[in-house]
Structure 1
C-alpha cells in the first residue's frame, strides 16, 4: 500500500469519493457536494496546515483518503476514511502505519501523532490498536451527532515518536491502576511473514471459502482431534468464526495465522499463537493441515517460523505445543521442530466423542534454547 498526495486537479474525484460513501460516525454521514466544495475552497484539504493523501492498495485502487492537519504544530492530527466496499480488508491499520511514517519522517521531528473517534466506533478503535496507537483519553459526552441530536463519548489515541521508531507500544498508566498491575506492553508487529515455502499471515475475511473447503475435504483426518471438525461445516458459520478470529487478532487476544504456498497461493492450513499471556509473554502454537498437503513438511516449517516470530518479534519467554498423546502426527511436528517433551498430563481431556479419557503431551521451548 502507499499514500498518494491529493492535488487540486483531483477535486472531482475527491467530491465523488466523499459523497458516494457513508461516514456513520461523522457529523455529516452523507455529505453533499456543496459541503465538500466549500471545504476545499477554504483550504480544508490543502494548505500550509493540511495535506490530503489517497490511500492506494497494491493494485493501485484508491481505497481510502486521509487528511493530516495541524502540520505546523509539533503534534499533528489526522482523519482517515476507508471506502464502504474496502472495509474489512485490513487497509486501515496499514494506512495508519504509513501515515505515522510520513509524519515522523518530516524534517521538523514531530513528537507525536494523534487521532480521535467516537467511543462506539469499534472498527476505528481496533485500527488504532492494531497500528500501535494507545488509548490516551476518554471524554464523556464530547462528540455531538447532528443526525441523532445526541452527544456520545469520544476517545483519543496517540503514538509517540519514540514508540514508532522503536517498534514498541507504551500503555498509559491510569491513576486508578493499582501498583504492580499495569497492563503488559504488547509489541508492534507485522501481520504477515514468510518461511522458505510459505506465506504466513493474519486471517482475512476473503479466506472463508478456502477454509471451508479445506475443512470439508479434511474431515476424516481432523475429526478425531479437533472440535470444529465434528460435523460438516457451513460456510456461514465458517465466516462467523473467521470474523471473530480477525477481531481477536486486532485486539491481540489470540493470533490465528493462515498458511499459503508461496508458489501457487493455495491455502494449506492454519496455525497461530493461542492461550496468550502477555505478562510473561508466553504462547501456545496450535495447527491443522489440509489432508492433501500432508507428508511434505509444511507444518514443521510453519511451526519453526512461527516459533521464531514469537521469540524474535513478540519477546516470548516460553512457547508450548499441547496435543493428545495418541495424535502421532501432531507429536511428530513438535519433535521435528525441536520442542522438548516436558511432561504428560494423565486423564487431562476427553476424546472428541466424550467417551474416553485422554492424556495430553506438553512440548515446549524457552527463550535462548
Structure 2
C-alpha cells in the first residue's frame, strides 16, 4: 500500500473517480463534474494548503484518494475516500496510517492530525480506531445531509504526534461532571438504510406486498428448492406465505432478523431472497442465507447479491464476522460462497438433518472477518 501524489495531469482520472463512486456520508453523495472542475481550478486539490494523493494497493491499483488540507497549520485535516468496489478490504486503516506518517514527517513539526465523520458512519469510525486514532468529540446534530434534508450527530477523531511516534493510543477520559469516571456507552444497533443496490439488483427489506412474488417464485422453483430448503417440502398456501411475510417484516423492524428481497433493476421481477440471520449484535456477526428463483439461475445474481450484502454488513452494520453455512453436498450454494470470497473454515460432521428429516448431513462453514 502506498500514497502516490496526484498531479494536475490526472484531472480526468480524479473527476472520473469522484463522479463514478458514491459517497453516502458526505455532504454531496454524487458530486457533479462541474463541481469537481471548479474545486480543482480554485486549488481545492493542489495548493500550498492542500495536497491530494491516490491510495494504491500492492498491485498499484488506485483504490482510493485522500486530500490533506490546512497544511500550513499545526493541525492538518484530511478527507479519505475508498472506491465502492474496494471497500471492505482493509484499505482504509492502512491508508490512514500512511497519511499520519506523511503528516508527521513534514517540516514544521505538526502537533496532531484529525478527521470528522457522521456518527453513523461505522466503516469510517472503525478505520479511525484501527489506525490508532481516538474519539475526541461527539457533536449533536452538527452534520447536515442535503439529500435527506436532516441533521446527524458528528464525531471527531484525532491522533497526536507523540502517540504516533510512540506507537501508543492514549484514550480520552470522559468525565461525567460528578465522579470523574470514564463514561460508559451501551452498545446500540446502528441506523441503516432498508434498501441498497448492486449492479443489477435492488436489495431491500421485505414488504407485505411481496408475498405474491415470493409465493409464485417458491411454487415455480419447488423442484430445485425441495432438496435444500425446509420451507419447500410441500407447496405452500398463499396465506401461509403472507403470514411468514408478516413475521419477516416485524423481525426487520425489531432487528431480530434482516431478510432482504432481491428485485431486478431492469424488469422489476422478484429474483430471490437473502438476508442476514442468526444475528449477534454484541459482536456484531451475521449469517447470510439465500435462495434463487429457478428462472434466474446461472446468471450470477446470487453471487452479486452476496458480495453486496456482505459489504453492507461490514460497512453499515459494523460486522466483525459474516458466515455462510450450507450443506456439504449443496455444490451451487458452496460455489456462491467461494466466488464471493468467503473462506471455508471447517465442516461439521453429521451436524444437521436433510430438509425431509431422513438423512444426516454435514455442514460447511464459510466466513469473512473484518
TM range (shorter): 0.5 to 0.7
3-state SS in 1 of match to 2:346: helix
Offset of 1:232 from its aligned partner?
A: 3.5
Matched, 1:233 2:363: yes
Q: Say whether the 8 Å CA contact 1:212–1:234 is kept in structure 2.
A: no
> How many positions carry a matched residue from both structures?
213
Q: Is the contact between residue 55 and residue 63 of structure 2 (CA under 8 Å) also seen in structure 1?
A: yes
8 Å CA contact retained: 1:3, 1:55 = yes
Identify which range, 168-177 or 58-67, moves more after superposition.
Answer: 168-177
Structure 1 unaligned regions, length at least 5? 184-202, 224-229, 247-369
The alignment partner of 1:114 has SS state of strand
Query: Taking structure 1 as reference, are residues 211 and 105 closer, same or farther at Cα in structure 2, changes over 3 Å only?
Result: same
Greater Cα shift, 203-212 or 77-86:
203-212
Q: By how many angstroms is 1:130 displaced?
A: 0.5
Q: 1:198-244: per-residue Cα shift (whole Å, max 9, x none)?
A: xxxxx99899748754513xx45999xxxxxx974356xx34xx3xx
After TM superposition, the score normalised by the length of structure 1 is 0.53
Matched, 1:215 2:346: yes
- Structure 1 residues 182, 146: closer, same or farther in 2, change over 3 A? closer
Give the aligned partner of residue 8 of structure 1. 8
Does the 8 A contact of 1:3 with 1:56 survive in 2? yes
- Indicate if the aligned counterparts of 2:23 and 2:29 stay in contact, CA closer than 8 A: yes
Task: Indicate conservation of the 8 Å contact 1:212/1:233, yes or no.
Answer: no
Could you say which residue in structure 1 is the equivalent of 2:76?
Answer: 76
Equivalent position of 1:157 in the other structure = 157
Q: How does 1:273-312 map to 2 (within 5 A)?
A: none
Residue 51 (structure 2) aligns with: 51
| Deviation digits for residues 121-149 of structure 1 (CA, Å, limit 9, x no counterpart) | 01000000010000000111111111111
Distance in 1, matches of 2:182 and 2:115, equals 27
Stretches (4+) displaced over 2 A: 177-183, 203-214, 219-223, 230-235
CA contact (8 A) 2:69 2:77 kept: yes
For the aligned residue pairs, the C-alpha RMSD in angstroms reads: 2.8
Q: Which residue of 1 aligns with 2:36?
A: 36
The Cα of 1:78 is off from its aligned counterpart by 0.1
* Pairwise CA distance, 1:107: 1.4
CA contact (8 A) 2:134 2:159 kept: yes
Structure 2 CA distance for partners of 1:20 and 1:211, relative to 1, 3 Å: closer
Tell me which residue corresponds to 2:88.
88
Partner of 1:250: none
CA distance, structure 1, for counterparts of residue 85 and residue 12 of structure 2: 19
Counterpart position of 1:187: none
For residues 162 and 212 of structure 1, the distance between their equivalents in structure 2, rounded to whole angstroms, comes to 39
| Equivalent residue number for residue 301 of structure 2 | none
CA 1:114 to 1:214, structure 2 compared with 1: closer, same or farther past 3 Å?
Answer: closer
Report the Cα distance in structure 2 between the residues aligned to 1:139 and 1:83, rounded to whole angstroms.
27
Residue 19 of structure 1 contacts residue 32 of structure 1 at CA under 8 Å; is this kept in 2?
Answer: yes
Partner of 2:64: 64
Q: CA deviation at 1:76?
A: 0.1
Contact 1:114 1:159 (8 Å CA) reproduced: yes
The secondary structure found in structure 1 opposite 2:96 is helix
Gap runs ≥5 in structure 2: 185-319, 325-336, 353-359
**What's the CA shift for 1:180?**
6.3
**Counterpart-to-counterpart distance in 2, 1:113 and 1:91:** 19
